[in-house]
Amino acid sequence: MHIAASLLIAATWGLNFTVIRFGLDEFTPLAFSTWRFLLGALPVLVLPRPAISWKALAGTGIFLFAGQFVFLFFAMEAGLPPGLTSVLVQLQGPLTLVLAALFLGERATPGQWAGLAVAMAGVVVIACSVEGSASLISVGLALLSALSWGAGNLFLRETRSAAVLSVTAWASLVPTIPLLIAGVLQDGWSATMAPVLAPTLRGWLVLLYTVVPVMWVGYLAWGTLLRTYPAGKVGPISLLVPCCALVFSSLLTGETVGGWRLAGIAVVLGGVALGIFASGRRAK
C-alpha cells in the first residue's frame, strides 16, 4: 500500500513540472503563483489554524511555498526545461544541510558534506552544458528555488505535530496577497486576473492539477509516509521525482538529454543520493 503511494507521489510530482510548463503558456509566473496558492488555501474555510507558531507558519508559506515556486516558475519561463528543472531543485536536500549548519548549529557527517560537494560539481557541469546568458540565469533561478525550499524545510520542522493538510492550506494563505500585489504591479490587473477574466480550459486544468493531486493529496500522502517510516527510508523516494519528470517531459515536450548535460544530471542525483543515505545512516 505504502509502496504504491510512494510511486504515485513520484509520478504525480514528476508530471507536475511538465504541467507547470503548460501553465506558463497560459499565465505569467506571478499570476500562476497567486492563483495556485489562493486555490490551495481554500480548505482554511473549514480547517482551523494549526497549533503552530506564526513564525513557523509564515516561514513555511514564504520560503517553502512562495519562494520555491516563484523562482521555479521564473526559471522555467526563462527557458529551463521541466526535466532539468526537477533535477536542480533537488539540491534542496543538501542546501537544507548547509542552512541547518549555519543557522541552527547542526553538525553534518562527512558523507553529507561529500554529497553536497558532488551535487554542486554536477551543477557546474550542467551550467557548462547550457547555452546563452538566459539559460545561465534560469539555472541560477532554479538554484534560488532550491535554496528557498531548503530554508522552508527548517520552518516545516516546527509543524510536525500539526495536520499536514491544515498546515498546507494555512501556509498557502500567507503569500497570496503579496503575490497578488506584486503581480498587479509587474504584469497588470488583466494578466494577474486572467483565470477569471480570460479563462481557458487548459489553464484551469493546470491550476486544478497543481492544487488537488500535487498539493492536497501529494503533501498529505508524503506527510503520512514521513510519520510512518524513518526519514532515511522515505528520502530516497524523492530521487524518483526527477526521473519521472525527465520521462514525462521527454514524452510531452520533447525535452532531450544527452552529452554533458546527462552527465551533470547523473552527478547531481548521485550527490543528492549520497547525502540522503548518509543522513539515513546518521539517523539510525
When pLDDT is cut at 50, 70 and 90, the band that residue 27 belongs to is: very high
pTM of the model: 0.91
CA separation for the pair 115, 112 (Å, rounded)? 5
Contact 73, 180 (CB under 8 A): no
Number of domains in the chain: 1
Task: Give the pLDDT mean for 134-158.
Answer: 91
Given this model, what pLDDT does residue 78 score?
A: 94
Q: Which three cell numbers stand for residue 219?
A: 503533501
CA distance 68 to 155: 14
94 pLDDT above the threshold of 70: yes
CB 88 within 8 A of CB 254: no
Distance CA 270, CA 243 (A): 12
Helix (H/G/I), strand (E/B), else coil: 230 = coil
Mean pLDDT of 231-237: 62
Q: Nearest Cα to 244, choosing from 64, 87, 68, 20?
A: 87
**Which range marks the domain in which residue 268 is found?**
2-283
Band of residue 224 on the pLDDT scale cut at 50, 70, 90:
confident
- Please compute the mean of the pLDDT values over residues 263-272 and round it to a whole number: 88
The rounded distance, in Å, linking the Cα atoms of 263 and 94 is 19
Q: Is the pLDDT of residue 256 over 60?
A: yes
Res 132 pLDDT > 70: no
pLDDT at residue 236, rounded to an integer: 66
Task: Say what the pLDDT of residue 58 is.
Answer: 97
Give me the mean pLDDT over the 99-119 stretch. Answer: 85
Number of C-beta neighbours around residue 177 at 10 A? 11
Q: In the structure, what pLDDT confidence band is assigned to residue 227 with cuts at 50, 70 and 90?
A: low
